[in-house]
């Protein structure tokens, strides 16, 4: 009997920026709103690269919804933005501040535990006034249906709850989006994987080593030949008293190259270029990882079904515009638009129209156009064609290509094209922009770095050992343990590695009845809940129970 | 629903807090007093009752004036609307019998009779487990002990409790009792909140109680012997039939292993450690 179940006008699942924006907007419109967050505290399950944008063209910004956000919840603003093209020791740096500032009201580095827990308090306060509120430690594990229609949510820790609107802001591995059949974990091409280290800085070191004032900060990006040919790049953002240093790679490329994400991160951390900022000192506060949807391919064009609306990563709303990655700002816009859509539909006594209204708003407010740009569709059809891609790659790498690079640099074309939002939005997902071109640019124009960087990042065992876990029941089940089906996870999982026995995935050779079998075994204890193995291995993937699993202190 | 929780201040026996003299006697002056750890479960049960049914939670203790802080701790750590301390020199050195009489009189003195009185399962210092049941006997109420889960039917004025049989976690029986009733919460007691509304109220109450605990004295009433109109012959040392014949320290278990302390900075010492270990190290 579902009549005894609790009912709220709106249930928001997940209290990251998308969920917070949705909940605050619902509450402002007087909608009784319950927010359910599975972490022990908001932010304890969240990792992000670390930059949040407020776009001039966006319908909503996080500081518009949450006054004092910038002074109380974020780290340093990004006032300078550089791309380093790397070939061995040679580096050619291009100033991308113009591209970064395009359509940007402001952009701040953030650490998610601090940011999201700050949002949590504000969201609880405003939603409590509507008769709802925010609860942590509650994992929503599915949709409640009546006669096939979505009418609410089911939870591990609570009895089922009915709602007139369900806003799923439950992140990149949204179980609700998958329950509704709107998203899947099928194609590695649709995803990036990011890993990140938060590096402690002595007091005053950020200002001194980066040459910035207290209210200034820098973003440095890295691409070229330092990542074993895997398509992707690295980043370094300055926080108040720490650095966020990470790498982001196309998941299909990671799998194809059988690269170890933590080793690629180490390749960046130990590159001589970083010596000027690390200066031989290295104290890693936290290692984290996250799956990142590529909105160009993964953003759902119609992210709703019945009473359910998806926002943020749950809907694949993560825009990679060349080197610039924008996710949280779109989650904020989408969350607030979904809330707006429901309030309007409810006022007109037609709550069932909320989803369609949300979709229209995403389109009319220009959000969908940024997430799935039309020019990319055309350019990628040509640029990602195998024959064309290989020809372009060879051309850039040729002596003719390098001559062209030098000419382009002299004419100022190189800097201009990197700073063009259009060029960046149509960049094809091939080796050329990530690896070949940056390497060729560095070889043609770069200056060798003379410094030695002798920092020693911790090994994987120490990185896992330093994380906080409240281990519950295993939450991932290996469906097919053959190496062919699930072996890719051994390297691609950010807390596993070949020849490392302490990670999630291990490969082993078992001798049975005279023949050898190459198998994969799984232990979910060190899991950082990134979702990589849901895509690259054959698993039954779920989040751990509320409050269980990894707890990020930095995020 | 008015619930009352009985608590006691006990020495903080946690390592690093507790202090013993050379003869193994507890150094009371050097050891802080805290709320009896088992009473936390009783407070959790009272809070669950308030979350589900509304009403007030009172917290009562008998002890010296310093026990005010013990009551404050209960208010801050779990929950309490108001605090009652039964405190008077005449009540000093009471055994469990005299304490029960005093507490029972304290309960009678409340403006609003409780529907349920909760107690924790024995104190960390006395370990008798007598005071709760004896206080209940004075009240002539039913008692349910070793409770691990609790449901209340307000209309029928009954409670239904799951209790461990003989303190055995393997065997659980469900019992029903009329209100008012005395309930002893087992350390295995787990409050359950399966409704979002209950969790939200729990969160509100936890925030409120912490704020209230900062000015706990505004919510505290102290009853002395005169206020309670207690006959001095029935309370304190004079009212205590227990005679302590003597106290023997619990002998330390004999050590079966020999230990040698080596400073890691002492090279020669460390070398001998490695020498000792060598035969046990597996060489490939």
Backbone torsion region of residue A149, taken as left when φ is above 0, otherwise alpha when ψ lies between -120 and 50, otherwise beta: beta
Task: Classify residue A435 by its DSSP letter.
Answer: I
CA-CA distance, A356 to A363, in Å (whole number)?
A: 11
Closest Cα partner for A477 from A538, A545, A428, A530? A538
pLDDT for A420: 79
H or E element at residue A305: strand A304-305
Shortest Cα–Cα distance, A304 to chain B (Å): 25
List chain B residues with CB under 8 Å of A166: none
Closest Cα partner for A233 from A352, A320, A117? A320
CA-CA distance, A65 to A62, in Å (whole number)?
A: 5
Q: For residue A209, is the peptide bond before it cis, meaning its omega torsion is within 30 degrees of 0?
A: no
CA distances from A261 to A265, A369, A466 (A): 6, 31, 18
CA-CA distance, B240 to B176, in Å (whole number)?
A: 34
- B199, B202, B203, best to mutate vs chain A, most A CBs in 10 Å: B199
Buried/exposed code over A328-342 (b: 16+ C-beta within 10 A; e: otherwise) = bbbbbbbbbbbbbbb
CATH number 3.40.35 given to A76-108+185-296+375-457 = no
Length of chain B: 284
CA-CA distance, B170 to B187, in Å (whole number)?
A: 14
Is the CB of residue B265 less than 8 Å from the CB of residue B273? no
Backbone angles phi, psi at A336, to 5 degrees: -70, -35
In this predicted structure, the answer to whether residue B25 has a pLDDT above a threshold of 90 is no
pLDDT for A43: 98
Buried/exposed code over A177-195 (b: 16+ C-beta within 10 A; e: otherwise) = bbbbebbebeebebbbbbb
CB contact B195 to A (< 8 Å): yes
pLDDT for B22: 79
Buried/exposed code over A383-418 (b: 16+ C-beta within 10 A; e: otherwise) = beeeeebeebbeebbeeebbebbeebbeeeebbeeb
pLDDT for A324: 83
pLDDT for A511: 87
Buried/exposed code over A197-211 (b: 16+ C-beta within 10 A; e: otherwise) = bbbbbeeebbbebbe
CB atoms near residue A276 (< 10 Å): 12
H or E element at residue A512: strand A505-512
- A158, A162, A163, A166, best to mutate vs chain B, most B CBs in 10 Å: A158
Is there a contact between A159 and B194 if contact means CB atoms under 8 Å apart?
yes
What would the two tokens of residue B32 be? 């802080």
| pLDDT tens digit sequence for A385-394 | 777 777 777 7
CA-CA distance, B17 to B19, in Å (whole number)?
A: 7
Is there a contact between A132 and B200 if contact means CB atoms under 8 Å apart?
yes
CATH number of A471-546: 3.30.70
Rounded to an integer, the average pLDDT of B150-173 is: 90
Closest Cα partner for A476 from A546, A525, A536? A525
Under DSSP, is residue B133 helix (H, G, I), strand (E, B) or coil?
A: helix
Shortest Cα–Cα distance, A360 to chain B (Å): 32
Is there a contact between A6 and B203 if contact means CB atoms under 8 Å apart?
no
Q: Are strands A232-238 and A218-224 parallel, antiparallel or unpaired?
A: antiparallel
CA-CA distance, A195 to A290, in Å (whole number)?
A: 6
Token look-up 């051994």 returns: A490
Rounded to an integer, the average pLDDT of B77-100 is: 95
- B196, B202, B208, best to mutate vs chain A, most A CBs in 10 Å: B196
Is there a contact between A133 and B194 if contact means CB atoms under 8 Å apart?
no
pLDDT for B160: 97
DSSP string, A216-241: --EEEEEEEGGGTT-SEEEEEEE-SS
Strands (E), B37-81: 56-62
Closest Cα partner for A305 from A344, A338, A279? A338
DSSP string, B143-172: EEEEEEEEEEETTTTEEEEEEEETTEEEEE
Query: What is the maximum alpha-carbon separation in chain A?
Result: 74
Token look-up 């000792």 returns: B276
Is there a contact between B199 and A132 if contact means CB atoms under 8 Å apart?
no
List chain A residues with CB under 8 Å of B197: 6
In this predicted structure, the answer to whether residue B283 has a pLDDT above a threshold of 70 is no
Closest Cα partner for A267 from A250, A252, A251, A249? A249
CB atoms near residue B244 (< 10 Å): 7
Fold held by A6-75+110-183+300-371: FAD/NAD(P)-binding domain (3.50.50)
Can you tell me the ipTM of this complex?
A: 0.90
Q: Are strands B82-86 and B220-223 parallel, antiparallel or unpaired?
A: parallel
Under DSSP, is residue B246 helix (H, G, I), strand (E, B) or coil?
A: coil
Is the CB of residue B106 less than 8 Å from the CB of residue B60? yes
pLDDT for A417: 78
- Alpha-carbon dihedral of residues B30, B35, B41, B42, nearest 10 degrees? 150
What would the two tokens of residue B74 be? 């209960």
Q: Which residue numbers of A have CB closer than 8 Å to B's CBs?
A: 6, 8, 34, 36, 124, 128, 132-133, 135, 138, 157-159, 161
Backbone torsion region of residue A125, taken as left when φ is above 0, otherwise alpha when ψ lies between -120 and 50, otherwise beta: alpha
CA-CA distance, A361 to A357, in Å (whole number)?
A: 6
Q: Which of A124, A132, A159 sits opposite B195 (nearest CB)?
A: A159
Is the CB of residue A314 less than 8 Å from the CB of residue A308? no
CA-CA distance, A23 to A72, in Å (whole number)?
A: 20
Shortest Cα–Cα distance, A159 to chain B (Å): 6
Query: What are the beta bridge partners of residue A91?
Result: A86, A447
Could you list the pLDDT tens digit for every one of the 555 residues in chain A? 557 899 999 999 999 999 999 999 999 999 999 999 999 999 999 999 999 999 999 999 999 999 999 999 999 999 999 999 999 999 999 999 999 999 999 999 999 999 999 999 999 999 999 999 999 999 999 999 999 999 999 999 999 999 999 999 999 999 999 999 999 999 999 999 999 999 999 999 999 999 999 999 999 999 999 999 999 999 999 999 999 999 999 999 999 999 999 999 999 999 999 999 999 999 999 999 999 999 999 999 999 999 999 999 999 999 987 788 899 999 999 999 999 999 999 999 999 999 999 999 999 999 999 999 987 777 777 777 777 777 777 777 787 777 788 888 887 877 887 877 777 777 778 888 888 899 999 999 999 999 999 999 999 999 999 999 999 999 999 999 999 999 999 999 999 999 999 999 999 998 888 888 999 999 999 999 999 999 999 999 999 999 999 999 999
Rounded to an integer, the average pLDDT of B43-59 is: 98
In this predicted structure, the answer to whether residue B74 has a pLDDT above a threshold of 60 is yes
Which residues, other chains included, contact B5 with Cβ-Cβ below 8 Å and sequence gap of 6+? Answer: B39, B42, B43, B46, B57, B58, B59, B60, B74, B80, B117, B118, B119
Which residues, other chains included, contact A112 with Cβ-Cβ below 8 Å and sequence gap of 6+? Answer: A16, A43, A46, A47, A48, A552, A554, A555
Is there a contact between A135 and B200 if contact means CB atoms under 8 Å apart?
yes
Q: Burial-class residue B131 by CB neighbours within 10 Å (0-12, 13-18, 19+).
A: buried
Shortest Cα–Cα distance, B198 to chain A (Å): 10
Q: How many CB pairs below 8 A link A and B?
A: 27
pLDDT for A372: 93
What would the two tokens of residue A401 be? 């290509």
List chain A residues with CB under 8 Å of B199: 135, 138, 158
Is the CB of residue A299 less than 8 Å from the CB of residue A530? no
Is there a contact between A135 and B199 if contact means CB atoms under 8 Å apart?
yes
In this predicted structure, the answer to whether residue B248 has a pLDDT above a threshold of 80 is no
| CATH architecture, domain B2-234 | 3-Layer(aba) Sandwich (3.40)
| pLDDT tens digit sequence for B204-244 | 999 999 999 999 999 999 999 999 999 999 999 999 999 88
Give the chain A residue nearest B193 (alpha carbons). A158
Is there a contact between A158 and B199 if contact means CB atoms under 8 Å apart?
yes
Which residues, other chains included, contact A397 with Cβ-Cβ below 8 Å and sequence gap of 6+? Answer: A436, A439, A440
In this predicted structure, the answer to whether residue B284 has a pLDDT above a threshold of 60 is no
CB contact B190 to A (< 8 Å): no
CB atoms near residue A284 (< 10 Å): 18
pLDDT for B58: 98
What would the two tokens of residue B196 be? 């979002």
Query: What are the beta bridge partners of residue A11?
Result: A34, A166
pLDDT for A385: 76
């Amino acid at each position: 009997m579902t009549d005894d179940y609790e009912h709220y006008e709106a249930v928001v699942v997940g209290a990251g920026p998308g969920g917070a924006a949705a909940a605050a907007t619902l509450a402002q419109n007087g909608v009784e709103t319950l927010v359910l967050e599975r972490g022990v505290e908001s932010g304890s399950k969240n990792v992000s690269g670390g930059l949040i944008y407020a776009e001039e063209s966006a319908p909503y910004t996080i500081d518009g919804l949450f006054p004092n956000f910038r002074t109380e919840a974020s780290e340093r603003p990004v006032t300078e933005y550089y791309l380093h093209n790397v070939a061995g020791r040679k580096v050619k740096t291009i100033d991308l501040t113009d591209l970064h500032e395009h359509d940007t009201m402001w952009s701040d580095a953030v650490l998610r535990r601090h940011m999201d827990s700050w949002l949590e308090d504000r969201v609880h306060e405003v939603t409590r006034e509507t008769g709802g509120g925010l609860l942590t430690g509650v994992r929503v594990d599915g949709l409640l249906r009546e006669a096939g229609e979505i009418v609410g949510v089911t939870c591990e820790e609570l009895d089922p709850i009915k709602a007139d609107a369900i806003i799923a802001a439950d992140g990149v591995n949204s179980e609700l989006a998958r329950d509704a059949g709107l998203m899947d974990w099928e194609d590695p091409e649709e995803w990036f994987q990011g890993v990140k280290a938060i590096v402690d800085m002595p007091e005053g070191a950020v200002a001194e080593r980066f040459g910035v004032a207290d209210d200034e900060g820098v973003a440095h990006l890295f691409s070229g030949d330092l990542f074993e040919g895997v398509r992707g790049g690295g980043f370094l953002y300055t926080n108040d008293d720490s650095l966020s240093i990470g790498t982001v790679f196309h998941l299909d490329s990671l799998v194809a190259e059988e690269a170890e994400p933590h080793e690629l991160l180490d390749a960046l951390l130990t590159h001589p270029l970083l010596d000027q900022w690390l200066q031989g000192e290295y104290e890693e506060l936290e290692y984290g990882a996250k799956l990142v949807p590529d909105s160009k391919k993964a953003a759902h064009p119609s992210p709703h079904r019945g009473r359910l609306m998806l926002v943020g990563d749950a809907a694949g709303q993560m825009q990679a515009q060349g080197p610039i990655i924008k996710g949280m700002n779109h989650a904020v816009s989408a969350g607030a638009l979904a809330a707006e859509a429901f309030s309007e539909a409810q006022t007109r006594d037609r709550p069932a129209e909320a989803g369609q209204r949300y979709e229209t708003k995403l389109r009319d407010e220009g959000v969908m156009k940024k997430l799935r740009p039309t020019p990319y569709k055309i350019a990628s059809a040509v640029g990602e064609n195998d024959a064309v891609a290989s020809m372009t790659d060879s051309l850039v790498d040729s002596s003719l290509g390098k001559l062209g690079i030098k000419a382009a640099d002299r004419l100022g074309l190189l800097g201009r094209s990197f700073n063009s939002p259009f060029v960046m939005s149509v960049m094809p997902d091939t080796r050329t922009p990530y690896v070949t071109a940056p390497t060729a640019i560095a070889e043609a124009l770069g200056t060798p770095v003379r410094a030695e960087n002798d920092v020693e990042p911790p090994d994987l065992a120490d990185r896992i050992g330093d994380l906080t876990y409240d281990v519950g029941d295993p939450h991932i089940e290996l469906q097919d343990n053959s190496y062919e089906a699930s072996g890719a996870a051994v390297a691609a999982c950010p807390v596993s590695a070949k020849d490392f026995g302490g990670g999630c995935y291990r490969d082993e050779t078992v001798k049975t009845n005279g023949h050898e079998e190459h198998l994969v075994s799984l232990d979910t204890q060190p899991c950082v809940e990134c979702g990589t193995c849901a895509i690259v291995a054959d698993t039954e993937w779920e989040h751990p129970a509320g409050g269980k699993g990894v707890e990020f202190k930095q995020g | 629903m008015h619930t009352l929780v009985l608590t006691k201040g006990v020495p903080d026996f946690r390592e690093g807090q507790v202090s013993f003299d050379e003869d193994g006697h507890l150094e009371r002056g050097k050891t802080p007093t805290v709320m009896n750890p088992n009473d936390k479960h009783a407070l959790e049960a009272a809070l669950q009752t308030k979350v589900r049914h509304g009403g007030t939670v009172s917290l009562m203790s008998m002890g010296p004036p310093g026990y005010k802080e013990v009551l404050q701790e209960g208010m801050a750590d779990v929950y309490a609307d108001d605090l009652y301390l039964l405190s008077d020199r005449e009540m000093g050195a009471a055994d469990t019998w005299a304490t029960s009489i005093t507490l029972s009189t304290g309960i009678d003195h409340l403006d609003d009779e409780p529907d349920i009185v909760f107690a924790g399962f024995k104190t960390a210092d006395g370990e008798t487990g007598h005071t709760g049941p004896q206080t209940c006997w004075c009240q002539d109420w039913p008692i349910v002990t070793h409770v691990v889960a609790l449901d209340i039917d307000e209309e029928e004025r009954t409670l239904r409790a799951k209790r461990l049989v003989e303190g055995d976690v393997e065997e659980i029986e469900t019992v029903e009792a009329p209100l008012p009733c005395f309930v002893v919460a087992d350390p295995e007691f787990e409050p359950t909140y399966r409704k979002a509304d209950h969790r939200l109220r729990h969160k509100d109450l936890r925030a409120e109680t912490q704020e209230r605990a900062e000015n706990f004295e505004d919510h505290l009433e102290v009853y002395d012997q005169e206020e309670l109109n207690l006959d001095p012959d029935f309370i304190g040392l004079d009212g205590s039939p227990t005679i302590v014949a003597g106290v023997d320290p619990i002998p330390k278990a004999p050590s079966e292993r020999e230990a040698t302390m080596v400073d890691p900075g002492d090279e020669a010492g460390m070398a001998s450690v490695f020498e000792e270990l060598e035969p046990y190290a597996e060489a490939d």
